[in-house]
Structure 1
Amino acid sequence: MSIHTVKRAQSHLVWDNSIPPVLRVNSGETITFDCLDASNGQVTSDTQAQHLATLNFASLDQVNGPIYVSTAEPGDTLQIDVLDVQTADWGWTGIFPGFGILADEFAVPELKIWSLHTSEGEEESYGYAWFDKSKGIKIPLKPLAGEMGVAPGEKGAFSTIPPYKTGGNIDTKHLSKGSTLYLPIEAEGALFSVGDGHAAQGDGEVCGTAIETPMKITVRLTVLKDKQYVKTPHFQTPPTTKSESTDGYYCTTGVDPDIREATRSAVRNMIAFLSAEYSLKPVESYMLCSVAGDLRMHEVVDMPNYVIGMMIPRSIFGHSS
C-alpha cells in the first residue's frame, strides 16, 4: 500500500474548495503529514509571554494539504483512521487577550513552555509533562490533531479558526492514535487537510490553547458510500483497558453557533446513527441516548461555532445473552 508524505510548507490558511490539492491518492491509502504548531512556527521554545502580542494572527491555525481522494464525491463520507501521532520534545500553552471562555477575566498575555517526555509505551502511555514538579502536578500526554477537515461545498474562503460540519478546528481530545473520524464530503475529492498538533488537551480547550506542539501525523483516508447519515463529524475511539468501556465509544456531534442547538443536533445525529446501524426505531434510539449516552462539550472557544458530542459506549452492543 502506498504511503505518501506532505511537508510543512504544503499548508493553507482557509478552507476553500478551489485550493489545488498538494497530493492525489486512492481511497485506502496512507499519508504522513509534517506539521508546524498552531502558531505556524512563530512560537518557539525560547518565546516569552510579551512576544504573544507581536504574533501575526492572520497566519495562525494553518492546515497541511489539501489531499484529493479519488472516487470521493459529495454525499459520501471520508473515513480518517489515525494511525500515529508524534510530537516535538516541547510545546506551549498561551493566554491571549480577548480569547478563551473567560477572556474578560484573563486579559494579560501569559505563556507556558512545556518540556515533553514522550514514550511509545503500552496502554495509552504516550509520555508526560510536568505542569509544576514542585507541586506534583503531572500531565499525561495523549497527542492529537486539533484540525481535521474537508473542503466545504460552498464556494469561497472560510477561516480555519472555527469548527464546521465538515470538520476543521474541532479540537476533540479523543481523536488520538487508534481513533477513527468520519466527515461528510461536500466537494469532489474530499480535499482533506490536517494540523494544529496538541500533546494534551481537556474537553472544551477552555482558554483557547492546549499543549500546542509541532507534530507528525499518519492517517489512512477511505471513501465510504453507505454512511449518508454522517452530516457532521462522527468519531470512534479505540478499545482501551483504562476506560469503563473497553470497547471504546462511538460519538456523533452537533456544530452550531447556539450551544443548545448544537446539543440537540448531536442527539439527533446519534438517533440517526443508531437507527441506521442497529435497526432501532427513532424513539428507541432516543431512549438509548438518555440511558447510555454521554454529552460532552468538545469545543467551546473557537467562535462562532460550538462542538457538542453525544458519546455512546460500544460495549453495550453485540450481546447474545
Structure 2
Amino acid sequence: MRYRHLAAASLLALPLVAFAQTAPAPAPAPAAPPAPADVPLIARTQATVPQPVLGPVDQALRVTPATNAKGGKIHMLPATLETTQWGWFDNAQPPVLTVKSGDSIALETMMHAHNQVVPGTTIEQIKKTRTDYPGRGPHSLTGPIFIDGAEPGDVLKVTLNKIVPRSYATNFNVPGMFGEFPKEFPDGQVKYFYLDLVKMETEFLPGVFIPVKPFPGTLGVARAEPGRYSSVPPGKYAGNLDINEFTEGASIYIPVFVKGALLWTGDSHAGQGNGEINLTAMESAFRELNVTVEVIKGQKLEWPRIETKTHWITIGYDRDLNIAYDLLQKETVKYLVETKKAPDEAAATKLMVTNWDCRISEVVNVVKGTYCMTAKTAGKPVAKLPTAETATAFVTVGTDADLNKAMDTASMAMINLLVEKKGLTRLDSYGLVSAAGDCRVGPPAGATKTVVCQTPKSLWRTKTASK
C-alpha cells in the first residue's frame, strides 16, 4: 500500500516516535441470545482465565533437515504477533530468525494492520486503523531476519523461489485520504475478491478479470539511521518499492547498511498496476514466500537492482517524480557502463534512449517510484508508446514539463475514459486502474515529459467466455 498525500505532519516526520504494537481494542460484541437449555454455558470464571505464557521459541525447531540446491538450510518462519511488526521498522529491533548466506526461508505474511483487513472489514474500520494510529504504515512486516556475515558495504541478494498467496485479496481507497487523488475522491470503497490460483486470475468486477501475478510489495533491509521509521517510504534499503516485475524467480540486490542486514517483508500483493493510483494494489497475504539469501562481498551498489530471467531493472525514487526520473536515468546509465554494455556515459545514454522501456511503479508512497527494464540479450526493438487507443488497449496521454502533472493528467484521463466507455463507477474505475493499469514514462525529449497510461481490453470478458 502506498501514500502520496498525508493528512498530518506527523505522518511525514521521520523517524517516528515510539508507539505500541498492540492492535486496537475490538468493538463491544452485541449481547448474545440466551443459550438453549441443553447447551452448557462456559462459566464466566473459565472464560476469563488468562492464557498461559509459552515463553521464547526454540529457533532450532524452525530449521528443517532439507537442503536447497546450494546446500543451505531451509528455515520456517510463521507470521505471528511475535514475528511481525505493524507499520514500522527499527534497526535496533531484535531479529526473529538468524540464517546464513545461502540459506532459504519459507515465511508467511499477514494482511494489513496485523491481519485486521480481511474480508468483512468495512472501509470505515480500515480508515480507523490509519487515523487511530498515525505515524505508522499499514503493512504487517515479517522479520527482521539476521543474515550471518552481512556487513555494511556488502550487497544482499534475495531470490524469490516460490510465492503462494492466500485465497483472497482486497483493493480500497481511504475516503478523502492518501492515493493520487484524495480530494477528487472524498468517498471510500473497499472490495474483496477470490483469487483463483488454478487459473491465476480474479474477477475484480462482474465480467472484469485481472491476472494474478503475486509479488512482495515490500521487501528490504534495515536503514542505517537509528530509530523507528514508517514502513511507507521506500529508499536505498529497498522496502516499499511496489515493482510488479519482482515476481517468482526474480532476485533483488540491496545495499547493506547494518550488521546482519535485517531483512523484512510484507505488503504482499496478488497483482498491481503500474502507478497504483488509488493507494492499493490487490492486497493479500502469502501462505508461503520462499526466498534464498546470499551475501555478496566486494560489490558496490548505491541503489537496489532487480534481476529477472530476461531483464535487469534499475530504479529511481524521490518525493518529486521529476527527480526520481533523473535518478532513474543516472542509475540506468551507470548500470550500462558497469556491465560493459556501453563503453562510456555518452554511449550508455544513447543505448538507454534507444531501448527505453520505463514505467512508473507508484505515486502514493510519499516517495514516488520509476523503473527501467533493460533486456539481458539483444532482441526485437522495444515498441514505442502509443498515443491513441489501440486494438488491444485503452490509452490516455499526459504531457507537461512537470512529470507529476503529466502523470496526474494521464491517470485521471484513464479513470474518466473507463467511466465513459465501459460504464464503470468512478470509484470502480479508480480501483481498476490502480490494480491493472499500466502507466509508463516516455524517453527524454527536451523539456516536455510524457506519461502514457494503458488498460488492457482483454480484462473485459463474459463469464461464459472464460470457461
TM-score by length of 2: 0.61
Aligned to 2:326: 264
Distance in 1 (alpha carbons) for counterparts of 2:149 and 2:344 = 32
- What is the one-letter code of the residue matched to 2:192? I
Q: Does residue 1:201 correspond to 2:272, yes or no?
A: yes
Aligned mates of 1:40, 1:302 — CA distance in 2: 20
In the alignment, is the contact (CA less than 8 A) between 1:8 and 1:33 conserved in 2?
Answer: yes
Match of 2:354 in 1: 291
Matched-pair contact (CA < 8 Å) for 2:137–2:230 = no
2:200 aligns with 127
| Secondary structure in 2 matching 1:307 | strand
In the alignment, is the contact (CA less than 8 A) between 2:123 and 2:174 conserved in 1? no
Q: Pick from 289, 293, 305: which aligns with 1:217?
A: 289
CA deviation profile, 1:263-293 (whole Å, cap 9, x unmatched)? 1111111222221112621221111111113
State the shift of 1:199 in Å. 0.6
1:129-184 C-alpha deviation (Å, 9 max, x unpaired)? 00223xx3111100011110100112222110111111111111111101111111
- In the alignment, the residues of structure 1 paired with residue 141 and residue 128 of structure 2 have an alpha-carbon distance, to the nearest angstrom, of 21
Matches within 5 A, 1:95-106: 95-97=173-175, 98-106=177-185
RCO higher in structure (CA 8 A, sep ≥6): 1
Change (3 A) 1:275 1:200: same
Q: Hey, what's the Cα distance between the residues in 2 that align with 1:315 and 1:276?
A: 16
Count of residues in Structure 1 that have an aligned counterpart in Structure 2: 298
2:263 partner letter = F
Q: How far has the Cα of 1:59 moved from its partner?
A: 6.5
SS in 1 for 2:170: strand
For residues 204 and 84 of structure 1, what CA distance do their matches in structure 2 show?
Answer: 25
Residue matched to 2:101: 27
Q: What secondary structure does 1:55 align onto?
A: helix
Counterpart-to-counterpart distance in 2, 1:291 and 1:198? 32
The CA deviation string for residues 204-243 of structure 1, in whole angstroms up to 9 with x for no partner, is: 2111111111112111111112431x212210123xxxxx
Deviations 1:21-42 (A, max 9, x none): 1111111110111111223211
Among residues 43, 51, 72, which one is paired with 2:150 in the alignment?
72
Q: Is the CA contact 1:203–1:299 (under 8 Å) kept in the aligned structure 2? A: yes
Counterpart amino acid of residue 67 in structure 1: I
Map 1:1-321; keep pairs closer than 5 Å: 1-9=72-80, 10-12=83-85, 13-55=87-129, 57=133, 58=136, 60-97=138-175, 98-119=177-198, 127-133=200-206, 136-215=207-286, 216-228=288-300, 230-238=301-309, 248-278=310-340, 280-303=343-366, 305-316=367-378
Name stretches of at least 5 consecutive residues in structure 2 with no aligned partner.
Answer: 1-71, 380-467
> Could you tell which deviates more after superposition, 80-89 or 44-53?
44-53
Q: Distance in 2 between matches of 1:32 and 1:188?
A: 22
Larger helix share, 1 or 2: 2
The residue type equivalent to 1:77 in the other structure is V
- Give ranges in structure 1 of 5+ residues lacking alignment: 120-125, 239-247
Q: TM-score, normalised by structure 1?
A: 0.88
RMSD: 1.6
Determine the C-alpha separation between the residues in 1 that align with 2:89 and 2:351: 36
Indicate if the aligned counterparts of 1:28 and 1:221 stay in contact, CA closer than 8 A.
yes
CA distance in 2, matches of 1:44, 1:156: 30
**Cα offset, 1:43, TM superposition:** 1.5
Look up the SS of the partner of 2:329 in the other structure.
Answer: helix
Measured in 2, the distance between the counterparts of 1:263 and 1:53 equals 32
* Larger strand percent: 1
Q: How far 1:186 sits from its partner (Å)?
A: 0.9
Letter of the 1:264 partner, please give it.
D
The residue number in structure 1 matching 2:440 is none
CA distance in 2 between partners of 1:273 and 1:70 (Å): 28
